[in-house]
């Protein structure tokens, strides 16, 4: 099989020592097995995420994303941009759509980019890693590399918001997307029934309005236990962090006894592909996943 090449947009949280650095570790291992070559967009910048609206306005936000498009096309021409972070993907894709839709926005974007010595000639495609797996590979191909099936392990596939709405993965349903459950099952695990799979974790409000966000996170975790899950799996760095790191606060507030690991799909895939716990970034869990560690080669 030919090597697949993509322009990689890792995003701020995936950098070394940042909150989703274990996500990147596992993505790199997973891509090795699948013969995917990710080349980082040189000098990429933050997408602005969806929370920066107060000061970002419209054009400044789109221009930040446009800078990445221009850098990607100049250095990695013809390659699709692939983001692993849900917010990076959403922010970039949204800016691309808006700029393409309006000739004035395109002209203004180009004028601003000129200040940084850049311009957009061809608009690259913006894709999420989950899209790449589902569309460019497909479940059958993904399953072919499984050497260490996750037999007997039960996962709640927590899709969350931003890989699912407003764009989502083609062909999926906003209310009940199936791709994550299918990835879990392709890796030999069991995807339990999970009625909070697209509930919002509170996003950035976990910082500013912790009580409101934690009320939502409580429901998300409770439903995973109700479905019989031993672990939660997600494609989004903010979902991962919010659902994992506040379990202590929630236990204190609600008298619950939550202690459930929250993993990335790429960590499951790395283990199922025969990788070690370290290659899957399992040492990066705040709540360790002993059952998955025990299975790892």
Partner 1 sequence: MSANQEMAVRYKNNFLKEVEQQVEMGEWVKMCMQCGVCSGSCPTNFHPGWEHPPQEIFMMIRAGKREEVLSSPSMWMCTSCYNCIVRCPRKLPITHIMHGLAEYAYELGLAPKVQPTKNLSKLFWENATKTGRINELTFSLGMYFKDAEGKINIGQGIKKGLEMQKVALGLLKAKRLNLFEIFGGHKCKDQKGIHAMLAKAYALESKRKGRHVG
Pattern of binders to partner 1 over 29-68, x per CB under 8 A? Answer: --------------xxxx-xxxxxxxxxxxxx--xx--x-
Please state the closest distance from residue 297 (CB atom) to partner 1, in A: 22
The verdict on 207 binding partner 1 (CB under 8 A) reads: yes
Instruction: Give 13 or 186: the residue with its C-beta nearer to partner 1.
Output: 13
The verdict on 15 binding partner 1 (CB under 8 A) reads: yes
Please state the closest distance from residue 152 (CB atom) to partner 1, in A: 26
Other Cβ atoms within 10 Å of 211 Cβ, number: 10
End-to-end CA distance of the chain: 25
What are the structure tokens assigned to 271, written together? Answer: 């283990």
Binding residue (CB under 8 A) for partner 1 from 121, 144, 147, 212: 212
The verdict on 95 binding partner 1 (CB under 8 A) reads: no
The verdict on 176 binding partner 1 (CB under 8 A) reads: no
**Under 8 Å CB-to-CB from 288, ≥6 apart: which residues?**
261, 282
Please check whether residue 22 is in contact with residue 288, taking contact to mean a CB–CB distance below 8 angstroms: no
What are the structure tokens assigned to 282, written together? Answer: 């399992």
Please state the closest distance from residue 138 (CB atom) to partner 1, in A: 25
The verdict on 171 binding partner 1 (CB under 8 A) reads: no
Dihedrals φ, ψ of 120, to 5°? -100, 120
Q: How many angstroms separate the most distant Cα atoms in the chain?
A: 57
Helices 86-101 and 237-245, axial angle in degrees (round to 10): 150
Binding residue (CB under 8 A) for partner 1 from 138, 193, 228, 248: 248
Calculate the CA 166 to chain-centre distance.
15
Binding residues for partner 1 (CB under 8 A): 12-13, 15-22, 43-46, 48-60, 63-64, 67, 104, 108, 111-118, 161-162, 165-166, 174, 199-200, 202-205, 207-209, 211-213, 215-216, 245-246, 248-249, 283-286
């Amino acid at each position: 099989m030919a090597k697949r090449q993509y322009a990689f947009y890792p995003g701020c949280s995936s950098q070394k020592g940042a909150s989703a650095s274990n996500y990147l570790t596992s993505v790199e291992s997973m891509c090795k097995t699948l013969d995917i070559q990710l080349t980082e967009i040189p000098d990429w910048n933050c997408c602005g995420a969806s929370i920066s609206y107060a000061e970002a306005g419209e054009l400044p936000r789109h221009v930040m994303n446009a800078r990445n498009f221009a850098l990607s096309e100049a250095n990695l021409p013809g390659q699709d941009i692939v983001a692993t972070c849900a917010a990076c993907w959403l922010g970039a894709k949204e800016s691309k759509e808006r700029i393409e839709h309006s000739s004035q926005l395109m002209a203004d974007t180009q004028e601003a980019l000129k200040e940084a010595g850049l311009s957009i000639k061809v608009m690259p495609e913006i894709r999420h890693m989950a899209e790449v797996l589902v569309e460019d590979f497909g479940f059958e191909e993904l399953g072919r590399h499984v050497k260490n099936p996750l037999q007997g392990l039960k996962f709640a596939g927590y899709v969350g918001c931003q890989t699912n709405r407003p764009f989502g993965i083609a062909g999926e349903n906003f209310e009940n997307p199936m791709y994550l459950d299918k990835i879990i099952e392709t890796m030999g695990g069991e995807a339990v029934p999970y009625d909070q799979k697209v509930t919002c974790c509170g996003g950035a409000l976990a910082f500013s309005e912790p009580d409101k966000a934690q009320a939502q996170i409580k429901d998300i975790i409770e439903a995973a236990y109700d479905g019989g899950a031993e672990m939660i799996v997600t494609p989004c760095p903010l979902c991962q962090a919010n659902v994992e790191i506040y379990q202590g606060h929630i236990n204190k507030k609600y008298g619950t006894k939550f202690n459930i690991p929250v993993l990335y799909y790429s960590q499951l895939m790395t283990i199922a592909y025969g990788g070690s716990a370290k290659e899957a970034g399992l040492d990066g869990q705040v709540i360790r996943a002993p059952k998955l560690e025990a299975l790892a080669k």
